[in-house]
Structures are given as C-alpha cells and as structure tokens.
C-alpha cells in the first residue's frame, strides 16, 4: 500500500497517470472525470457551499469548487499533494493528517454542506470506513451529504467481474466500495454507477 511518501513521489505525475488510465477507459480510472463531474454538479446546486475534501490530492476537483466560491477545507497526508493543491487554492484550509487515524481536530468544529472524497477512502478497510464515515456524518450541516467517488460497485459480483478483467493490474491492497454491503450500515446510501469500475455513493 502506498504511504504518505509514496503519494509525495506520485504527486507530480499524478494528473498525467490518472489521465492515461482514464483515456484508455481502463481500471482503476475509467470514468474518473465523469465521477468528479457528477460530484461537482451536485455541490454546485448549493451556492457557496462549505466543503470538506478528504484526500484532496492535487486539488483537481476541489480547486474547481473553490473557483466557484465554495469554502474549501481538506485533509491529506502528503506534503507534496498539499503543496500542489495550495498553489491552486491559496485561501483554502488544507490540513496534513492521516485519515486512518481520524479527522484533524481543526476540522471538527465546522459543519459542512458536503464532505467529498474521491479515490481516497479505498485505503481504509471496510470496518474503518464505517467508523470514519460515521464520524464524518456527525459533521454534516442540516441537509448536508457525504459524496464519495471511487472505484466502486453495486455488489460483490460486479467487483469480482472487474477484478477478473483487470487481471494482474488489480490492486489487492485496496478496499473498494461495494454499495449493497455498505448500505447495511447506512440505509440512506444511494449509488450511481458511472463506469465499469467507478461510481458515486451518496450518504445523508
Ligand atoms: C488517488 S489520490 C486522489 C486524489 C484526488 N481526490 C482525486 O480524485 O484526484 C489519493 C489521495 O489521498 C491521500 N491519502 C491516501 N491515504 C491517505 C490517508 N491515510 N490519510 C490522508 N490522506 C491519504 C493521498 O495523499 C492522495 O492525495
């Protein structure tokens, strides 16, 4: 599994690497831009929304929301990703912290209209996902939503099909979202399939 130093090294080539996998329509980034766009459109429905981005990376999505007037907060553990994101969003409140240990204290006093996480939370195993998502849910403003865009499937059968297609390229160290399993913990969860390996999950 990639640690914070691994992400530091990946940071400068990240946008390009994602672009290549996206252009090929291959796992893991098939549908990446549509996933980000879907979340962007939902957040845009609320003017000047307060948004927390978990694992914001180079700020591909959040910087677009920032440019449209959203109040942006974020947590990521890679110094390099944070630096690149700050260049695009100098007034955003971006904090360094490992989300497998929970949320940074500075982020706990705010109530968010949207908490977004794209291609980041698959680093948590299913049990930790549930407890972290419960923690995040407690920070939603009235009417707020958690929006997760990631490698995600409606059920395990769909995941297994994708795994077979991906062959040796499949990453066994990541824990991808399976909507009908997570729904047992979050009955309000809605899942939108975007590509053969990606989707958007919404929890309110
Ligand atoms: C694949 S990138 C996704 C970046 C961005 N959200 C996107 O959609 O392009 C994953 C991001 O999550 C961060 N990340 C991964 N594990 C993390 C952890 N345990 N704590 C904090 N950040 C983490 C990485 O540093 C990286 O910026």
Task: State pLDDT tens for residues 133-149.
Answer: 999 999 999 999 999 99
The CATH fold assigned to 4-203 is Rossmann fold (3.40.50)
Residue 170 burial by CB count (10 A; 0-12/13-18/19+): exposed, middle or buried?
middle
Mean pLDDT of 149-162: 96
Going by C-alpha positions, the residue among 159, 175, 77 that lies closest to residue 125 is 175
Pick from 4, 12, 21, 55 the residue to mutate for probing ligand 1's pocket: most ligand atoms within 8 Å of its CB: 55
Task: Report the b/e string of 58-77 with b at 16+ CB within 10 A.
Answer: bbbbbbbbbeeebbbbbbbb
Indicate which atom in ligand 1 lies nearest the CA of residue 36: 8
pLDDT in tens, 30-50: 899 999 999 999 999 999 999
Asked if residues 46 and 39 have their Cβ atoms less than 8 Å apart, the reply is no
Residue 4 in this model has a pLDDT that exceeds 90: no
Mean pLDDT of 168-197: 95
Pick from 18, 76, 99 the residue to mutate for probing ligand 1's pocket: most ligand atoms within 8 Å of its CB: 76
- Which residues fall within 8 angstroms of residue 79, CB to CB, at 6 or more apart? 4, 8, 96
Which percentage of the chain shows pLDDT scores above 90? 83
Residue 66, SS3 per DSSP: helix
Specify the pLDDT at position 150: 97
Cα 68 to averaged position of ligand 1 atoms, centre (Å): 23
Residue 141, SS3 per DSSP: strand
pLDDT in tens, 79-136: 999 999 999 999 999 999 999 999 999 999 999 999 999 999 999 999 999 999 999 9
The model's confidence at residue 15, banded by pLDDT at 50, 70 and 90, is: confident
pTM: predicted TM-score of the whole model, two decimal places: 0.94
Residue bearing the bigger pLDDT, 92 or 11: 92
Residues with CB under 6 A from ligand 1: 7, 55-57, 60-61, 76-78, 81, 98-100, 118-120, 123
| Average pLDDT of the residues of the chain | 92
Within the chain, residue ranges assigned H as helices are 4-24, 32-44, 62-67, 79-88, 126-137, 156-166, 179-182
């Amino acid at each position: 599994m990639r640690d914070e130093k691994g992400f530091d090294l990946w940071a400068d080539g990240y946008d390009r690497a994602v672009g290549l996998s996206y252009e090929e329509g291959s796992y893991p980034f098939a549908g990446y831009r549509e996933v980000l766009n879907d979340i962007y459109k939902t957040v845009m429905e609320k003017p000047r929304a307060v948004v927390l981005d978990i694992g914001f990376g180079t700020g591909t999505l959040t910087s677009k929301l920032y440019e449209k007037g959203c109040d942006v907060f974020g947590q990521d553990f890679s110094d390099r990703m944070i630096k690149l994101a700050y260049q695009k969003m100098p007034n955003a409140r971006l904090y360094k912290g490992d989300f497998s240990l929970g949320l940074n204290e500075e982020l706990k006093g705010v109530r968010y209209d949207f908490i977004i996480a794209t291609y980041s939370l698959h680093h948590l195993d299913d049990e930790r996902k549930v407890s972290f998502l419960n923690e995040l849910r407690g920070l939603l403003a009235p009417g707020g939503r958690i929006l997760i865009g990631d490698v995600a499937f409606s059920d395990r059968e769909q995941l297994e099909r994708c795994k077979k297609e991906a062959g040796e390229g499949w990453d066994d160290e990541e824990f991808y979202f399976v909507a009908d399993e997570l729904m047992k913990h979050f009955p309000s969860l809605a899942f939108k399939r975007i590509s053969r390996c990606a989707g958007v999950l919404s929890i309110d």
